[in-house]
């Protein structure tokens, strides 16, 4: 796509966003500025007026709130606190999907977000597409476990996917910007921009709101590294407080899944050797710029011609100098890697 949606200059008003008009870094700066500008009075107002009603899931009549009602409350508050209410009803909404819903498709993830940007080629007028771009979030219902634990998973999945929706709706994705800011969005949608926002939000909700939410950042970076075969600096991991041991464990799970798939696809012969040893993912030098070919299957599922970001996907190119220079199809088992997309987080 040759049409660039970027504004001539950042208007600086991050309380009024224009769809597809920003670089990923401008979106990160806007969200982080909004979070850091939250004064004590607003935090207190939030906690006393809104949060208490959610911690105690009953309405004014003493009736327990439904999961849908609780998620709506959280959506409204997160949208105001972190995204300046940019996720308007015409731009984004969410659905809690039952197991028997046709959209479930047997997936094991907790949630995903439709990416309507693939529909751009169907539009003759780019500005019409700008006006209509949206992102629908799907949260998959789990009937197992304690109700409060299920609610916690729904809430953190919702917030995880809200970050995806915000980036998809407001970041320019023209060919020039996509190439220039490739490391920002990442191969799986959990690039530098997503990670930066998720990290700051996790800190805020834990310290200011008392919510211990895990946005699955470690799983996300593992899948990003696994799919793109890039080096990541230890300095980068430290910046976002990523535990290297946990990350190595998640990478091992990715390889284990691939081996299982390969063993089924090749008549049970499980003799595939790792094309890139796990140790190659870590560089001890912040200036590392090692590059590897990706394994690269298209990691999207479609619904209504939309591609979906996976809740279990991940984050990022490694350091500021590491790049997804060649995210082409280089994995000899391309078809097999398609099955990895439904990995549970």
Q: How far is CA 70 from CA 15, 137, 158, in A?
A: 25, 16, 11
Provide the residue ranges of all domains of the chain, joining segments of one domain with +: 24-342
pLDDT beneath 70, residues of the chain:
1, 8-15, 39-59, 99-108, 229-236, 261-345
Residue 283 sits at φ, ψ, to 5 deg, of: -115, 140
Give the pLDDT score at 167: 95
**Exposed e or buried b per residue across 172-199, where buried means at least 16 C-beta atoms within 10 angstroms of its C-beta:** bbbeebeeebbbbbbbbbbbbbbbbbbb
- pLDDT for 109 equals 75
pLDDT tens, position by position, 92-149? 999 998 766 656 555 567 889 988 887 777 788 888 888 889 999 999 888 777 888 8
**Phi-psi category of residue 186: left, alpha or beta, with phi > 0 → left and psi -120 to 50 → alpha:** left
CA dist., res. 17 & res. 23, Å (int) = 12
For 21-53, letters b (16+ CB in 10 Å) and e give: bbbbebbbebbbebbeeeeeeeeeebeeebbee
The confidence score (pLDDT) of residue 65 equals 77
Q: Three-state SS string across the chain, please?
A: CCCCCCCCCCCCCCCCCCCCCECHHHHHHHHHHHHHCCCHHHHHHHHHHHHHHHHCCECCCCCECCHHHHHHHHHHHHHHHHHCCCCCCCCEEEEEECCCCCCCCCCCCCEEEEEHHHHHHHCCCHHHHHHHCCEEEEEECCCCCCHHHHHHHHHHHHHHHHHHHHHHHHECCCHHHHHHCHHHHCCCCECHHHHHHHHHHHHHHHHCCCCCCCCCHHHHHHHHHHHHCCCEEHHHHHHCCCCHHHHHHHHHHHHHHHHHHHHHHCCCCCCCCCCCCHHHHEECCCCCCCCCCCCCCCCCCEECCEEEEECCCCECCCCCCCCCCCCCCCCCCHHHHHHHHHCCC
- In degrees and rounded to multiples of 5, residue 245 shows phi and psi of -65, -45
Q: Which two tokens stand for residue 16?
A: 């009024």
Structure tokens at 92: 């984004």
pLDDT score recorded for residue 293: 35
Are the C-beta atoms of residues 96 and 141 closer than 8 Å to each other?
yes
């Amino acid at each position: 796509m040759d049409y660039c949606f970027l504004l001539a200059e950042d208007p600086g008003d991050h309380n009024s966003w224009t769809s597809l008009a920003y670089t990923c870094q401008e979106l990160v700066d806007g969200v982080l500025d909004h979070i850091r500008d939250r004064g004590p009075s607003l935090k207190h107002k939030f906690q006393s007026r809104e949060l208490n009603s959610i911690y105690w899931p009953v309405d004014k009549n003493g009736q327990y709130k439904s999961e849908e009602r609780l998620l709506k409350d959280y959506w409204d508050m997160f949208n105001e606190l972190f995204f300046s209410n940019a996720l308007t009803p015409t731009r984004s909404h969410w659905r809690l999907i039952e197991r028997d819903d046709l959209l479930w498709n047997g997936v094991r993830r907790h949630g995903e977000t439709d990416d309507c940007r693939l529909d751009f080629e169907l539009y003759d007028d780019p500005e019409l597409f700008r006006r209509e771009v949206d992102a629908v979030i799907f949260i998959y219902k789990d009937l197992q476990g304690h109700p409060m634990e299920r609610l916690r998973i729904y809430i953190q999945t919702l917030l995880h996917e809200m970050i995806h929706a915000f980036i998809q709706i407001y970041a320019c994705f023209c060919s020039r910007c996509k190439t220039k800011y490739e490391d920002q969005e990442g191969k799986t949608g959990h690039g530098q921009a997503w990670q930066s926002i998720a990290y700051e939000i996790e800190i805020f909700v834990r310290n200011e709101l008392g919510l211990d939410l895990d946005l699955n950042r470690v799983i996300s970076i593992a899948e990003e590294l696994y799919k793109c075969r890039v080096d990541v600096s230890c300095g980068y991991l430290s910046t976002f407080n990523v535990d290297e041991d946990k990350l190595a464990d998640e990478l091992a799970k990715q390889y284990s899944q691939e081996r299982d798939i390969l063993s089924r696809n090749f008549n049970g012969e499980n003799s595939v050797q790792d094309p890139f040893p796990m140790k190659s993912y870590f560089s001890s030098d912040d200036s590392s710029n090692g590059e590897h070919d990706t394994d690269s299957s298209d990691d999207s599922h479609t619904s209504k011609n939309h591609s979906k970001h996976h809740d279990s996907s991940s984050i990022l190119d490694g350091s500021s100098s590491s790049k997804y220079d060649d995210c082409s199809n280089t994995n000899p088992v391309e078809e097999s890697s398609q099955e990895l997309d439904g990995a549970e987080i």
